Chains A and B, each alone.
Chain A
């Protein structure tokens, strides 16, 4: 659908992570790339106090036609979950997952304050993998923070995960599309590394 491989209409993607990881940025880039292809896109999110170390979520909804869409995806209606932090993916599934949902995950945990303070436990990766496998159709784990660090900054994980997601979901979006979406949104000196991260994410996901 829409000439770029939309599997469904509306197509619902949730990007999630922890405040400060670049979730808002990544959702905006994705939406910009899709809007540039003539699609109607909405993003639903909240920012403000919720971002001080809290869980964050952006709901991206895509349609070929202009229509009235709630900025928040209804229960069980997420087609994809893109998680910069793996635990957040689990939280998202509770509200919006279904047996059909597919996921791209960055495997690097960000510990909640209670874990940092030694009062709570973060699940082991095996436990988390088992949960996520049981609750989704497919879950792709990638070391995107590792890839981002190799390119110079852990913050690039947000662009890398976009590349990985584009590859996995079969959207026909290229580095050129990423360039167009990024060029007015970030300082010029960061453009090259972000494009590299996008491409590295795509390759890591098997594009």
Chain B
């Protein structure tokens, strides 16, 4: 990504939303960035780490988002501009620190970008975390388009530094993962000298200690900052208005909903009736600007994703100023003009707006739409999500499912966050029965494991990946060990954060910038806290199953940990280097005549092993097969045969 650090003002570059965010930070003189991988935020730190040495940055993948915020804050305290980036969950993880950071304040500009996932494309929640801004009394900016995102980030840094307050910036999947043309600005080359001053009076923002106490006084200072911000936001260049001077209907939108609202008005050719107030600073709200635009229209349509955050704020504002603004009719999520859940898009907004304006919106001829729907229904089988060919998780969960079935006591798995979350689906034999936050599987497992006194005798397993182990899994594990919970933890160690693109974690010997780092040994940590530990290769099905059954059979309390070690199929170590050449011997594959009932393809479900309907035999697709050799172990007739391959070192 050479363009990211090209000092060529005026040049246009095609950037991913997350790259535009990174570029904005660089143009603002960023020094330190920290993050924890999570879709849709990962590329922010990823792209910064790539240019770290050239741009003289320090970047890190922190153990979790709270620590990422702390690492960034330390830089700010020492006078270095810093960025913390995370997906929505991270803001919740780190909110305890943020609660105090709001009170202590910051020094050099510090921006916290959280990228949310309306529609839950790559999340198991749909959090709209904007209320944190009100709760913590911190300013909030919402990015709406790739083109302006870079400018907003620059302004966020300036404002953070001017007001000595961390600034929250909200992105969403449709922005972080959209690309657009961005005009490059100048890249400063700041001379940096990190010093943390702490010798002054406690309330001195530049020289005092960075502490949230004395709390009432610090809160007073925080509220003074907010009042100043309110005034500052009146002039904020990226609070924009489009449309006629006195529209009948005013649309107010933030985030990518700005684009949807804009295009909806355009598609309905409704610019004579409707105007659009596009807000970037949604907390605190610029009151003068609101008053100016809210006076004329009788109807206000708030277009936003998530909860009715902006809608509630505007309603309160209009109620407060009803003398001046008069009666309004509000449309939005609360009374159902827009859906309460899921993502918006141009069509959803256009349809709602058409309804409100008494227009009709028919983007596709009805006959075409029904013909297309019918053809899709008849001929387009859905694509279910699956583990990659050669994925260690398929093998691990195959053994777990088998062991649970043999145990026969209604056992189940408490799941966690990563590729292995797919084990709630047929891809992973549906063994996962609880799924919540990072590390929660083992916290829940710890709790289930203490229910014995109430007659609970189901086998409880929890699973977590190597990255999750460090993120928040460890405290839960310590809890289980200390309290002698009857828990079996399976650690799926595939040596990287596979789901989000192989970012390193503390278990690996290299860091975000590819330099050497201390590897923290998972097995050693588990042993040190007093768990009983076993290690196996999940590709060895029999051995894994034997260990699992042994662990399940053990009586009494106490935590047993099984570490299943095998790199991810897409990892650089394994990609394109199968251990075996695998093929189905058609003479031996009995197909439907075999008592196995097509066990290999129907149950094991490796995408590279398919059922050939015509030949009525299983077959291996040699383009897709990763050569893990696992399927060869499951065919009862021995029809799937593997031949070891030797790779030059």
Contact = CB atoms under 8 A, between A and B. Distances in A.
B371 A135 contact: yes
B174 A49 contact: no
B489 to A, nearest CB: 23
Nearest to A53: B386
A113 B613 CA distance: 14
Contact of A46 (B173, B387, B605): B173
Contact of B385 (A53, A75, A76, A87): A53
B429 to A, nearest CB: 13
A119 interface: yes
A75 B347 contact: yes
Nearest to A120: B381
Given A68-B258, A117-B611, A53 B383 contact: yes
Contact of B259 (A43, A69, A91, A134): A69
A31 B14 contact: yes
Interface in A14-66: 18, 28, 31-32, 35, 38, 40-50, 52-55, 66
A2 B529 CA distance: 66
A35 B39 CA distance: 26
Nearest to A130: B375
B121 A122 contact: no
A169 B437 CA distance: 47
B365 to A, nearest CB: 7
Contacts of B13: 35
Contact of B2 (A18, A87, A98, A184): A184
B368 A99 contact: yes
B363 A75 contact: yes
Contacts of B607: 53, 113, 116
Nearest to B43: A47
A111 B610 contact: yes
A70 interface: yes
Interface stretch (B176-184, B540-548, B553-561, B626-634): B176-184
A18 B262 CA distance: 31
Nearest to B38: A48
B385 A52 contact: yes
Contact of B179 (A43, A53, A68, A97): A43
Q: Give the interface residue-count category, chain A.
A: 35 or more
A45 B262 contact: no
Contacts of B610: 111, 115-118
B422 interface: yes
B580 to A, nearest CB: 20
Contacts of B381: 87, 112, 114-115, 120-122
Residue from A32, A114, A120 whose CB has the most chain B CB atoms within 10 Å: A114
B12 interface: yes
Contacts of A71: 146, 174-175, 178, 180, 256, 259
Contacts of A1: none
Contact of A118 (B178, B499, B613): B613
Nearest to B14: A35
Contact of A154 (B262, B380, B419, B623): B623
Q: Which of A18, A32, A70 has the most CB of B within 10 A?
A: A70
Contact of B380 (A18, A77, A87): A87
B528 interface: no
A112 B345 contact: no
A74 interface: yes
B347 A118 contact: no
A165 B194 CA distance: 53
Interface of B: 2, 12-14, 39-40, 121-122, 145-147, 173-175, 177-181, 256, 258-260, 262-263, 267, 345-347, 350, 363-365, 368, 371-373, 375-376, 378-388, 419, 421-422, 427, 499-500, 598, 601-602, 605, 607, 609-611, 613, 623
Q: Name the 3 nearest CB pairs between A and B, nearest first.
A: A48-B122, A118-B611, A48-B39
Interface of A: 18, 28, 31-32, 35, 38, 40-50, 52-55, 66, 68-72, 74-77, 87, 90-91, 93-94, 97-99, 111-123, 127-128, 131, 134-135, 154, 184
15 contacts: A46-B121, A46-B174, A48-B40, A49-B422, A52-B422, A53-B385, A53-B388, A66-B147, A69-B259, A75-B363, A90-B376, A93-B375, A114-B382, A118-B610, A135-B371
Given A112-B381, A113-B427, 14 more contacts: A35-B14, A41-B179, A46-B177, A49-B121, A52-B387, A70-B260, A70-B346, A74-B346, A87-B380, A90-B375, A90-B380, A98-B368, A99-B368, A121-B381
